[in-house]
Structure 1
Amino acid sequence: MARKKIRDSDDGGASWLVTYSDMVTLLLTFFIMLYAMSTIDAQKYAAIVASFSKEMNPEAYYQQMEAEKAEEEIIDSNIEPEEIDDIDVLYTLLKQYIDENELSNQVQLNKSKEYVFIRFSDSVTFRGYSDILEQRGKGVLDVLAEGLVLVDEYIEEVIIAGHTAKVEYDMTDIDRSLSTNRANVVLKYLENKDVIDPSKYLAIGYGLYSPIADNSTSEGRAKNRRVEIYISRKGYPISYTKIIQDTINNSKANDNDLKYRRETYIE
């Protein structure tokens, strides 16, 4: 008796395709999810596009590069130097130190677009008729040196002026020498810090001839005994009389103080 032949199932041979297609679908879904979670690095993407552009059309690529370079140069040329106020760094450092150490009554600080001005009372820098620098004065000068090294290239000059007060007895010669010595002591202290070109420093001794207050009172004489430092911005040579007038206008000095100023200081 002949054996009956068993027929193959109609779908048995293709059953593996179902599993394979499911796996491919899952993998595709997985990679789509990874792509959605990732971020595109714009610079790398631009570099890839640029490399393809260079290979496919080198002439157009180099033309685009030249155009971008020209655009950057135009943008840079529109930036004016006045927009970068570097001398503010110096002012900010000094202001912070003066406030933190409660020296605002002994150290006056002003600035404009042309200069930074510092006025030290004698209680901070020197005592009596001494030309030995006080420790508190050194502290302020140390901070000044830290600021000068940051803005050296933007500084025109640094003028240090020493002043004394007129007393009842004649000490004109001593006052002139003392004010000069004090200015030189401050200059030498800063110069030894080696923070800026030493040729930018200038020390001047005015003696008793630059009063800002009445010499007939002890309070007035205390104001007149002082050291002043003027740091001018590059391109703005210092006008001593202009700075004096500015500091008068910006200070808390009363009308009685102003009456005793020399007329030559008023432009």
Structure 2
Amino acid sequence: MKKKGGGEDGGGNWMDTYGDLVTLLLTFFVLLYSMSSVDSKKWDIFVRSIYPDGKTPSEKAASQTPLIVDSEAEKADETTETQADPAGDPVAPENEIPDSEDLYIQIAAALQQAGVSDVTVTGGEDYTFVVFKDKAFFGGDSSVLTDQGKHILDIFCDTIKDSNDAISQMNIMGHTAKANPNQDNSVRGDRMLSGMRASEVCIYIQEKGIVDPDKLVSIGFGQYRPLEPNDTPEGRASNRRVEILIIDKDAKERSIEDYYKEIQDNINGDTTVILREDGSYANQAAQGADAGVVDGAAPAVEPVPGN
């Protein structure tokens, strides 16, 4: 009689489980190996096929996250554009010359926007007086217009191009400085240099065809109308200059000395604009009644050799 219980497999069932485990492990390592060398394009296609909209979770998050930096910049731009005074009028950016129909303001604003400095522009009763300082147009001992000088004159001419009918005369005046403060320059060289500088500017303006040629006058004053003593580099830099006097149509007749006296006495300080090296501007009256055109406008400058 046989005993109940007891199998006939001799306990071999565990081999099936073991075999399944080994197969799973092998499959897992094969999968790891295949992923280590997966084709990026195929993997991208596989991942996108899982999601109905074709976007992975990271892409969805990126598309929903605001760009903080750009948003802040846009807000700053909007604030600048919409900034207004209590009356509701837009506020002009700091240090920017406001718009005006006055010719002297238009000239000063155009030059400032172009980054031109060391220029003083005065609006008189019936004239506009512009002083270009030092290295604006010429190098030391030279009457050849620099590229910078031509660029400045281009801006100047473009600003006054519609004013021909309102102009009766335009004087272009060249000035030199003493190369040696204790000795006069050569008479011939000094007169020729200042005259040629004035003529070069005059010719450049005439070739633009914006002002009738008979209204243009070039004058060379040489070293004889200094604005500052010639014993310092700053003083000589102030004395080397080109001035442009624009006389309005129907202006009362007066001599060149009358215009110079008004400028030197700062009669029009409230309507004089000084363009500084840092891009800002100042009103001549704010510099003080005794400052004079050059005292108020002259920043530190590098000395230029020669006249």
Q: TM-score per shorter chain, which class?
A: 0.5 to 0.7
Q: CA offsets, 1:56-98, max 9 Å, x none?
A: xxxxxxxxxxxxxxxxxxxxxxxxxxxxxxx945323321222
Alignment-derived partner of residue 94 in structure 1: 107
Unaligned regions of 5+ residues in structure 2, if any?
1-99, 270-283, 296-307
1:203 paired residue among 179, 193, 218 = 218
Rounded to whole Å, the distance in 2 between the matches of 1:238 and 1:143 is 29
Ranked by relative contact order (alpha carbons within 8 Å, sequence separation 6 or more), the top structure is 2
Alignment-derived partner of residue 137 in structure 2: 125
Aligned pair count reads 170
Which consecutive segments of 4 or more residues in structure 1 shift more than 6 A?
none
Measured on the aligned residues, the alpha-carbon RMSD in Å equals 2.2
Q: Which has the larger radius of gyration?
A: 2
- Give 2:104's aligned amino acid: Y
Alignment-derived partner of residue 229 in structure 2: 214
TM-score, with length taken from structure 2: 0.51
Deviation at 1:181, TM superposition (A): 0.2
Flag the structure with higher helix content: 1
Q: CA offsets, 1:169-225, max 9 Å, x none?
A: 442321110000000000000000011210000000000011111111111111001
TM-score, with length taken from structure 1: 0.58
Give the share of equivalent positions with the same residue, in percent. 33
Q: Give 1:26-45 correspondences, 5 Å limit.
A: none
Q: CA offsets, 1:208-255, max 9 Å, x none?
A: 011111111111111001000000101124632222222221355747
Alignment-derived partner of residue 200 in structure 2: 185
Rounded to whole Å, the distance in 2 between the matches of 1:231 and 1:139 is 20
Alignment-derived partner of residue 234 in structure 1: 249
Rounded to whole Å, the distance in 1 between the matches of 2:158 and 2:233 is 35
> Helix, strand or coil: the match of 2:222?
coil
Alignment-derived partner of residue 194 in structure 1: 209
Q: For the Cα contact (< 8 Å) 2:111–2:156, is it kept in 1?
A: no
Rounded to whole Å, the distance in 2 between the matches of 1:223 and 1:149 is 28
1:241–1:88 distance in 2 versus 1, CA, 3 Å: farther
